């Protein structure tokens, strides 16, 4: 799919389809009004007849109308003009993309980016547009090859009112395209079954990406290398599995080597049975998604390779398969982490923190500017926040505020939970420096408390994406979150 930008007369523009917005009180945005005038109020008559109301979700495809050069017109409901904001704009885009696909209209000219939205820049509108259309193209087919393919859009042209808006629109389109592609990569990795998407498979994806892009270098640490580094906490998670664990390190070098890197650390449990603390059977297939943190890191690296911003970013993935077997770690086992702290594994199902803690110690060597870990870490986070936002935890108020705002701006929401000292005592162990579970209360927070013991040397935040990384039910599938929020953070800071 290509995006192009045009400025010119909406009425005399040659295009197979012209997308025009309308509001639900019958008022028309300027470009729609111009077409209405040129067609002798044809649009007003159609709206008066009640063929389309203008609510968000309403769409109506019209044949060519005398007075407007477009072959067809797609009317798209934009709701109440006074309520239009970035969230609603994003919904409108989704319905527009679906309509173009449904009617198999591969090339279209849109006027939606010209809609005036309070506090939303042209760059942002163009970004949301590209992101929406690119992610709308994705459909999982890899292990379902006979399923009908998604209709692919070919060329989307943005018609802008003012030539001065060309540059910001271009920037937004580039960012939105890269973010959308990154999300699709993350979704595909998440959706792949665990018999395909193993730690070794994730390693190969990261190595292949580096082969294609000069700015990226990937290094994969083997189990033997991790053993030498003392990463016994990470290694304890994969002990029961036939699959080898891996620590994947991706260096994106877009700036001088002297510039401190921002580091993203993803939980890459390619399947979480719970181990000896075995999970109940119902819905266990969804634990193939337990590597969605890792997938979001790979998605971000894809987006960076496409956009090539001048900054240094390191993506790290702590990957293992959590299985029960004769060699598996048992409840009560004590392991020594790379940091030297001993950990009592009271529950082998609290494995995410066990792989992450060693990765978080390993990255100290890179002297990071800031670190974010991303993990499908706790079921408790779904109970607390549902699927609307990811959980955000940090001991640094300023960093937390920055990331909260990135969530708002990218429409990929995060909400902060506290990480006060008082919660730390729940991790007390009589047999090790720290226990890997903190009891039934505040499970999302105590999981973050555990991680905080390993992040004292740098500015750090934790994202619990258990509720946001995939959808359940009929539309079961990975969402690609929080790639937009992470890209917002990287590109804006």
144 is catalytic: no
Based on the shown chain and the rule CB under 5 A, indicate whether residue 464 belongs to the binding site for Mn ion.
Answer: no
Shortest Å distance, C-beta 289 to ligand BES: 7
Torsion of CA 402, 263, 448, 229, to 10 degrees: -160
Q: How far is the CB of 348 from ligand BES (least distance, A)?
A: 8
The residue with its CB nearest to Mn ion is 349
279 catalytically annotated: yes
Q: Is 123 in the site for Mn ion (CB under 5 A)?
A: no
For ligand BES, give the closer residue by CB, 274 or 299.
274
Nearest distance, CB of residue 222 and ligand BES, angstroms: 24
Interacting partner of 482 out of Zn ion, Mn ion, ligand BES, none (Cβ under 5 to 8 A depending on kind) = none
The one of Mn ion, ligand BES, Zn ion, none whose footprint includes residue 466, by CB under 5 to 8 A per kind, is ligand BES
Q: How far is the CB of 389 from Mn ion (least distance, A)?
A: 21
Provide, rounded to whole angstroms, the least separation between the CB of residue 339 and ligand BES. 21
Question: Which of 123, 165, 290, 333 is the binder for Zn ion (CB under 5 A)?
Answer: 290
Q: Does 373 participate in binding Zn ion (rule CB under 5 A)?
A: no
What minimum distance in Å lies between the beta carbon of 363 and Zn ion?
20
Interacting partner of 191 out of ligand BES, Zn ion, Mn ion, none (Cβ under 5 to 8 A depending on kind): none
Question: Out of 58, 123, 349, 373, which residue is the one contacting Mn ion (CB under 5 A)?
Answer: 349
Is 464 one of the binding residues for Zn ion (CB under 5 A)? no
Q: Which of 36, 123, 188, 272 binds Mn ion (CB under 5 A)?
A: 272
Residue nearest to ligand BES (CB): 379
344 contact, one of Zn ion, ligand BES, Mn ion, none, CB 5-8 Å limit per kind: none
Nearer to ligand BES, 177 or 277 (CB): 277
By CB under 5 A, residue 272 contacts Zn ion:
yes
Q: Which span (28-36, 118-126, 154-162, 266-274) binds Zn ion, by CB under 5 A?
A: 266-274
Separation between Cα atoms, residue 282 and residue 312, nearest integer Å: 42
Judged by beta carbon, residue 181 or residue 353, the one nearer ligand BES is 353
Q: Which of residues 339-358 bind Zn ion (CB under 5 A)?
A: 352
Considering CB under 5 A, how many residues would be counted as binding Mn ion?
Answer: 3
Out of 125, 267, 353, 481, the active site residue is: 353
Residue of 80, 260, 279, 416 marked active site: 279
CB of 276 to ligand BES, least distance (A): 12
Judged by CB under 5 A, the stretch of 7-15, 134-142, 265-273, 382-390 that binds Mn ion is 265-273
Shortest-Cβ-distance residue relative to Zn ion? 272
Contacts with ligand BES by CB under 6 A lie at: 272, 290, 347, 349-352, 376-380, 382, 437, 443, 466
How far apart are alpha carbons 226 and 393 in whole angstroms? 28
- Least distance in angstroms from the C-beta of 342 to Zn ion: 22
Q: What is the C-alpha to C-alpha distance for residues 57 and 99, in angstroms, rounded to an integer?
A: 10
C-alpha distance from residue 388 to each of 289, 394, 418 (Å) = 18, 19, 18
Among residues 178, 179, 175, 133, the alpha carbon closest in space to that of 156 is found at 133
- In terms of Cβ atoms closer than 10 Å to its own Cβ (0-12, 13-18, 19+), residue 92 is buried
Would you say the C-alpha torsion 348, 350, 356, 360 has a positive or negative sign? negative
Report the catalytic residues. Answer: 279, 353
- Interacting residue ranges for Mn ion, rule: CB under 5 A: 272, 349, 351
- Interacting residue ranges for Zn ion, rule: CB under 5 A: 269, 272, 290, 352
């Amino acid at each position: 799919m290509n995006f192009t930008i045009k400025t010119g007369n909406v009425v005399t523009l040659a295009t197979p389809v012209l997308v025009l917005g309308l509001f639900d009180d019958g008022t028309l945005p300027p470009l729609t009004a111009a077409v209405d005038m040129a067609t002798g109020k044809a649009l007003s008559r159609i709206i008066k007849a009640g063929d389309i109301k203008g609510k968000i979700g309403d769409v109506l495809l019209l044949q060519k109308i005398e007075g407007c050069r477009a072959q067809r017109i797609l009317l798209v409901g934009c709701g109440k003009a006074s309520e239009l904001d970035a969230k609603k704009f994003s919904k409108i885009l989704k319905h527009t993309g679906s309509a173009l696909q449904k009617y198999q209209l591969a090339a279209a000219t849109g006027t939606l980016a010209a809609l005036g939205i309070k506090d939303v820049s042209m760059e942002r509108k163009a970004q949301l547009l590209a992101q929406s259309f690119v992610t709308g193209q994705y459909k999982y087919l890899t292990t379902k090859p006979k399923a009908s393919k998604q209709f692919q859009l070919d060329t989307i042209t943005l018609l802008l009112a003012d030539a001065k808006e060309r540059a910001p629109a271009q920037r937004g389109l580039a960012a939105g395209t890269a973010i959308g592609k990154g999300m699709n990569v993350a979704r595909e990795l998440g959706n792949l079954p665990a018999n395909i998407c193993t730690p070794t498979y994730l390693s190969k994806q990261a190595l292949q990406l580096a082969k294609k892009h000069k700015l990226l270098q990937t290094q994969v640490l083997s189990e033997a290398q991790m053993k030498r580094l003392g990463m016994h906490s990470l290694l304890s998670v994969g002990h029961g599995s036939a699959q080898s664990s891996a620590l994947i390190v991706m260096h994106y070098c877009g700036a001088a080597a002297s510039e401190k890197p921002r580091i993203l650390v993803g939980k890459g449990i390619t399947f979480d049975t719970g181990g000896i603390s075995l999970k109940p059977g119902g819905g266990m297939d969804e634990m193939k998604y337990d590597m969605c943190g890792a997938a979001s890191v790979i998605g971000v690296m894809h987006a960076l390779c496409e956009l090539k911003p001048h900054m240094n970013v390191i993506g790290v993935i702590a990957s293992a398969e959590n299985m029960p077997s004769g060699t598996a770690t048992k409840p009560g086992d004590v392991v020594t982490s790379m940091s030297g702290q001993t950990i009592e594994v009271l529950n082998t199902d609290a494995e995410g923190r066990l792989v992450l803690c060693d990765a978080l110690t390993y990255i100290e060597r890179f002297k990071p500017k800031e670190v974010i870990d991303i993990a499908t870490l706790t079921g408790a986070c779904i109970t607390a926040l549902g699927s609307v936002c990811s959980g955000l935890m940090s001991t640094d108020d300023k960093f937390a505020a920055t990331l909260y705002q990135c969530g708002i701006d990218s429409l990929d929401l995060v909400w902060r939970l506290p990480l006060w000292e008082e919660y730390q005592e729940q991790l007390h162990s009589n047999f090790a420096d720290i226990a890997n579970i903190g009891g039934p209360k505040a499970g999302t927070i105590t999981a973050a408390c555990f991680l905080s013991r390993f992040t004292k040397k740098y500015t750090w935040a934790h994202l619990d994406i258990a509720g946001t990384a995939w959808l359940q039910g009929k539309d079961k599938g990975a969402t690609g979150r929080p790639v937009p929020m992470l890209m917002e953070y990287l590109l804006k800071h």
